[in-house]
């Protein structure tokens, strides 16, 4: 009951902060955030703050999750690519909205934990892989929607992600040329090219290419 009361307060706060898409709010309501945070942070699961999940990574602030999900404008039949699985929370929210979610994580340990959570919650429309997210998932492209949950240092997104975007689709990604000041940017692929729209400032852990040294040797 305590978690339900905290969840209701969080949903009300998200509404006040500009989350107007009822389907996004519904997805957040149906995904138990406490299942995606370390046990010692479970009492903070419904606070509007990022929390550590190990290996220098975090589970994003609920408002950021909601804003980025809303910015994707997901349709029920969307095929979605997520870069940066982390705890799996964002993928779980996306899975409540789209037809299929493909998610990539650099750290095998984090991905294995996320996979266990997906199985426990019976989220069978999520497919995972360990890999370099900057390269996307060419075997499954094109995607209607792509979300990156790490900050990309540069003015242009990784070229592979734009190449794997369906015409009419959009990519939502945090970006910052100096690696400190970041903005969430939405790119739309049209028949005539790529449209760019800067949305709001944010702070994410960096988007890194390749795999960590130990992971790369294990492949």
At residue 77, the pLDDT reads 96
Active-site residue among 17, 60, 78, 87? 60
Task: Tell me the CATH number at 126.
Answer: 3.40.50.150
Average pLDDT of the chain is 91
Question: Which tens digit of pLDDT belongs to each residue from 35-52?
Answer: 999 989 989 999 999 999
At residue 86, the pLDDT reads 94
Lowest mean pLDDT among 113-127, 138-152, 175-189: 175-189
The predicted model gives 178-200 an average pLDDT of 88
- Domain range for 76 is 2-218
Q: Enter the tokens of residue 9.
A: 């307060």
**Residue 180 — pLDDT band, cuts 50, 70, 90?**
low
The predicted model gives 148-152 an average pLDDT of 87
Helix (H) or strand (E) holding 52: strand 51-54
Helix (H) or strand (E) holding 82: strand 79-83
Number of domains comprising the chain: 1
In the annotation, is 60 catalytic?
yes
Distances (CA, A) of 169 to 87, 157, 183: 26, 15, 20
Q: Enter the tokens of residue 52.
A: 């550590």
pLDDT surpasses 80 at 218: no
- On the CB side of 145, CA atoms within 13 Å amount to 25
Q: Can you give the pTM of this predicted structure? A: 0.92
At residue 139, the pLDDT reads 97
Residue 156 is given by DSSP the state S
Q: Closest Cα partner for 59 from 182, 127, 149?
A: 149
């Amino acid at each position: 009951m305590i978690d339900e009361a905290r969840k209701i307060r969080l949903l009300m706060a998200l509404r006040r902060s500009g989350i107007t898409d009822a389907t996004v709010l519904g997805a957040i309501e149906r995904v138990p955030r406490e299942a995606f945070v370390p046990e010692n942070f479970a009492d903070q699961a419904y606070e509007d703050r990022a929390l550590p999940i190990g290996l220098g990574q975090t589970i994003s602030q609920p408002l950021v999750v909601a804003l980025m999900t809303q910015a994707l404008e997901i349709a029920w039949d969307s095929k979605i690519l997520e870069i940066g699985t982390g705890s799996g929370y964002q993928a779980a929210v996306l899975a409540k909205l789209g037809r299929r979610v493909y998610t990539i994580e650099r750290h095998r340990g984090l991905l294995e934990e996320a996979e266990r959570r997906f199985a426990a919650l019976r989220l069978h429309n999520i497919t995972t892989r360990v890999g370099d997210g900057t390269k996307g998932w060419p075997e499954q492209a094109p995607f209607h929607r792509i979300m990156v949950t790490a900050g990309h240092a540069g003015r242009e997104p990784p070229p592979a992600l734009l190449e794997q975007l369906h015409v009419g689709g959009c990519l939502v990604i945090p970006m910052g040329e100096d690696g400190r000041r970041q903005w969430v940017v939405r790119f739309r692929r049209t028949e005539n090219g790529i449209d760019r729209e800067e949305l709001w400032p944010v702070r994410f852990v960096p988007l890194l290419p390749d795999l960590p040294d130990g992971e790369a040797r294990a492949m």
